[in-house]
Amino acid sequence: MTHDDIPQELDEQQVIQNLLATKRTSDSKSLEKEVIWASLSGLGHNDRGLVVYTTCALSSLSLANIDALSAYPFLQRLVLDNNHLTTLQPLQHAASLLSISAAYNKLDQSALKHLRASSSTLEKIDLSFNQLTSLDGVGAFPYLTEFHASNNQVKAVTRGQFEGLRSLTKVVLQENMIASVDADAFSKCNIRHLNLSKNEIAELKFVNRIQGSLATLNVADNNVMHFEPIVNLMLLSTLDLSGNNIYDQAELLMLAKVPTLREVGLIGNPLCSLSHGIHDVLDDDAASDVVLDDVPPPKKDTIAEQHAARKTIVAAPISKERAAPPVVDQSPEEEDEGELNALSLEQQYRLIVLHKAPNITKLDGVDVSPQELTLSKNLKGGADRTHRQEVKSKFLVSASGSAASTLRKSKTAA
């Protein structure tokens, strides 16, 4: 394929993929015995007590087939990444595999069928960057602990595909075409880490089936508008909701209902784009505590705009320089007004989130500073405002006493 042969409507990424596919096809090779011998490592015992090689690494060799591997049925760990494979049929009699990685190939869902001989042993499968359109067949591996199938063409996660895989703790399905995940898709599973980012998912009801185990949930760059189901997640510590359609400030209240939650990503959502001051938002708190389903969301930013926002709307650290002490008759409200008006809209957005969810310690990849936490607590009559003058007076007295003591010591030393 020459540059002149490239259709004008193809974007740059598609052009690169097409050129690579053409080159890879022309450079395809068959697996030779000498190559296998050079790739074998690790000695172990098979089920007959015989000493055998257990590991074979065959990455980036432009392999079009692996027929020669049929002579090695006792392999336990196999790496076939970055080749030109369209089938794993030569492995249909390999009954001892513990892990297989065959990312960056041209495999479809039949690959799972060809691995069934190892259904009682396989613990890790990586089929990322292939051509899977369905996840049927995953349920045939009851001892599976990790399953990776990112960058494929899967359109749905349905009931029965993962059901009952009690050993499964990590699932990575990012950048597919998934528009729906059945509410019972992960029934009887104990998944701790779930990555469904860069898909087309709108509802999160499926998390209810793994509420007792899920610790990390990544659903960034989807179509999520409401995330109330997360309140049932008893162990959730990390949640990425970046790049979705969340626009209602009341949704933030859900974050505070998950006491274990510490890290949250929200950048790229409509609610992060404040068009007015922080006090206007807080004044609407009472009215916005009820989530309205019938209010149409603002237009969602394009993926490019969302990723640009990730780079530009990162909260800058709040200045540690303190203004001169206020006059005695200045009220706490006036103090807050002066401090908050000096902040950027991005920093004000962070304070709004922390005001509603004080349990968060990292927001959009940036650690929450003690100063941010204090300011967020003081918003709209925060808990520590009542005793602020008393605390401040004690602080000033203590500070002046320390200064006087230091001065006396200096004079004595002189």
Positive or negative, the CA dihedral 151, 153, 159, 160 is: negative
Where do runs of H (alpha helix) occur along 166-252? none
Q: Which residues make beta-bridge pairs with 194?
A: 171, 217
Collapsed DSSP state (helix, strand, coil) of residue 239: strand
Placement of tokens 């030779």 in the chain: 32
Length of the chain: 414
Q: Does the structure show a pLDDT above 70 at 406?
A: no
Q: What percent of the chain has pLDDT over 70?
A: 67
pLDDT digits (tens, 9 = 90+) for 320-334: 444 555 554 555 555
3.30.300.30, 3.40.50.2020, 3.80.10.10, 1.10.3860.10: which CATH number matches 33-129?
Answer: 3.80.10.10
- Write out the residue limits of the CATH 3.80.10.10 domain(s) in the chain: 33-129
| Fold for the domain defined by 224-314+338-390 | 3.80.10
* Closest by CA position to 28, among listed 84, 82, 107, 86: 84
Exposed / middle / buried, residue 396 (Cβ in 10 Å: 0-12, 13-18, 19+): exposed
CA pair distance 309, 74, nearest whole angstrom: 50
User: At residue 177, what is the residue type?
Assistant: M
Q: Is the pTM of this model over 0.85?
A: no
- Cβ atoms of 77 and 56 closer than 8 Å: yes
More confident residue, 413 or 180: 180
More confident residue, 14 or 205: 205
